[in-house]
Structure 1
C-alpha cells in the first residue's frame, strides 16, 4: 500500500533541511512519496527542495503562488497525492516523523470501518498560552461534536486518500478531521505522540487562527453533522451471473 506524506509549510527551510531526512529514515522500507506543499514561502524553501529532488529523493514540491493557509496547503497535497493513504505532518519540525509508520499501521490494522488514525499529543512543548487555548478549544469541540478525540489539532494523522478527498473543505478543516470523518460514517483510532521543541523560526499560524476563528468553524462543523443524520451502506445489486 503506497503512502503519501503531506507536509504543509511556509518559510520553514531551516526545519525542512533536517525534517525531510527524518521522514526518509522513518519511511525506509515502505512504498512512499513526500509532498511538501510550499504555501507561498519567501525563504530558501524552493532551493532546499530542488537540491533534494536533484539527488533522486522521493520528493515532490507543490507550490502556492501566495500564502493560502495551512488548510489549503493540506488540501493541495491531498489532491496531488498518489498514495492509498495520506500521512500529514507539520513542517516546523515539532512533530516527530518516527510516528508516521505507526499511524499508517494503526489505520490499516483497525479495519475498513476506520478512516482516520490521529496522533494525540502528550507533554506539549508549545507556550503556556497556546496550550491553554488548545485545551479549552478541545474541550469545547468534544462537548459539541462528540468526536471522541481529545486533541484534534495534532498535525500527525493518517487518513485514507479517497475519504480525505470527499470531506467538505473550509479554512480550518484539518482541525476537525475526526468529526468530518465520523460524518462520513467512519471511525477514528488514536495513538499517543510526543511533540518536540521547534528548532528554527517561529509559528506561521497564530493563536487567532486556532482560537477566535475556530468558534465559527465549530458551529459550521456542528451544522454539517446535523444535516447528515443517516449514512447508509451502499451496495450494488447485480443480476445472477453478472460480475
Structure 2
C-alpha cells in the first residue's frame, strides 16, 4: 500500500444505481452497519446515478452519511461506464462494486476486501452467488453463458455477473475498457497476471424498483462481447518485469 493521509479512504465502494431511489439509502446504511468496519480501514461511498429519473441522487445524499459522494450521468451509459466513472473519481486504493437495488448483501464486504489487504498477488476478489432470486429463464441463460465463458476464457469463475467484487484501483485503471466489460473482470485481471479470489455470497430478492436487464438483451449483447474478450485473451502480450536502472547499477 502506498503512503496516504490518515483520513484518506483505503476503500471506495462504487454503487451504480439507475432509478433506485427506493433502496439506495437503505443500502448505504446497511453497508455502514456491516462487518466492513471490522477491517479498521476508512472507506467512502461513490454512488453513480446512471441517468435516473426518480431522484436517486437526492435519495443517496439524503441518507445523512458524511462519507457519501454522488456522481450523475445525465443519460444512462450502462453499468460498466458507471463503474468506470466511479473508479476515476475514487480516492481509495481498493474498489468495491455493489449494486444499488439491495440484492447484494453487505455482510460479505469484509470477506471480499480482506484478501486484497493481506495478499499482494491477488488483484480481484469476486463474489459468487450460491442462490439467485431470478426467474427460471434468467437462471437458464446465465447458466449457459457462464459455462460458455469459462470454456472460452478459462477464468475459473462460476458467476461473473454478481455485483459484489473488490479489486485494486491502479490495476483496474490499466484494463481495456469497453461497454459491458464488468462481466469479464476476472478474465481481464488474469490477462494482466493477477490472481483471482472468490467468496461465496448470498443473493437477496429485490424489494423495490425493477430489473434493468431482460433475458434477450443479455444474450444478444453477451455473445459479441465474449468473442471480443476471447480475442483479447489470445492477444495478451508477454509480461516482462520492468526494473528501474540507475547510473550506479549500470556502472557497477
Partner deviation per Cα, 1:62-108 (whole Å, 9 max, x = no partner): 10010111111111111111000000001111000111121000222
Tell me, what secondary structure is at the counterpart of 1:43? coil
Residue 32 of structure 1 is matched in structure 2 by: 43
Of 79-88 and 92-101, the range deviating more from structure 2: 92-101
In structure 2, C-alpha distance between the alignment counterparts of 1:9 and 1:207, rounded to whole Å: 20
Q: Does 1:105 align with 2:93?
A: no
Counterpart in 1 of 2:96?
87
**Aligned equivalents of 2:217, 2:193: Cα separation in 1:** 28
Structure 2 distance, partners of 1:210, 1:115, is 27
- Give, in angstroms, the shift of residue 56 of structure 1: 4.6
Deviation of the 1:36 alpha carbon: 0.5
Alpha carbons of structure 1 residues 92 and 56: separation in structure 2 relative to 1, 3 Å: closer
Q: What is the alpha-carbon distance in structure 2 between the residues aligned to residue 201 and residue 189 of structure 1? A: 31
List runs of 5+ in structure 2 lacking aligned partners. Answer: 2-9
Normalised by the size of structure 1, how large is the TM-score?
A: 0.93
Contact residue 11 and residue 41 of structure 1 kept, 8 A: yes
Instruction: Using the TM superposition, name which of 169-178 and 225-234 deviates more.
Output: 225-234
Structure 1 counterpart of 2:196: 188
1:143 aligns with 2:154: no
Determine helix, strand or coil for the equivalent of 1:118: strand
Please say if 1:73 is aligned against 2:68.
no
The match for 1:42 is: 53
Matches of 1:209 and 1:187 in 2, distance apart?
A: 31
Separation of aligned partners in 2, 1:210 and 1:176: 14
Matching residue of 2:233: 225
1:19-41 CA distances to partner (integer Å, 9 max, x unpaired)?
11011112335300000000000
Deviations 1:107-146 (A, max 9, x none): 223x222210000110111111111111110000000000
SS of the equivalent of 1:212 reads: helix
Which runs of no fewer than 5 residues in structure 1 stay unpaired? none
* Shift in alpha-carbon separation, 1:56–1:147, aligned structure 2, 3 A: closer
RMSD of aligned C-alpha atoms? 1.6
Q: TM-score, normalised by structure 2?
A: 0.90
Confirm or deny that 1:20 pairs with 2:17. Answer: no
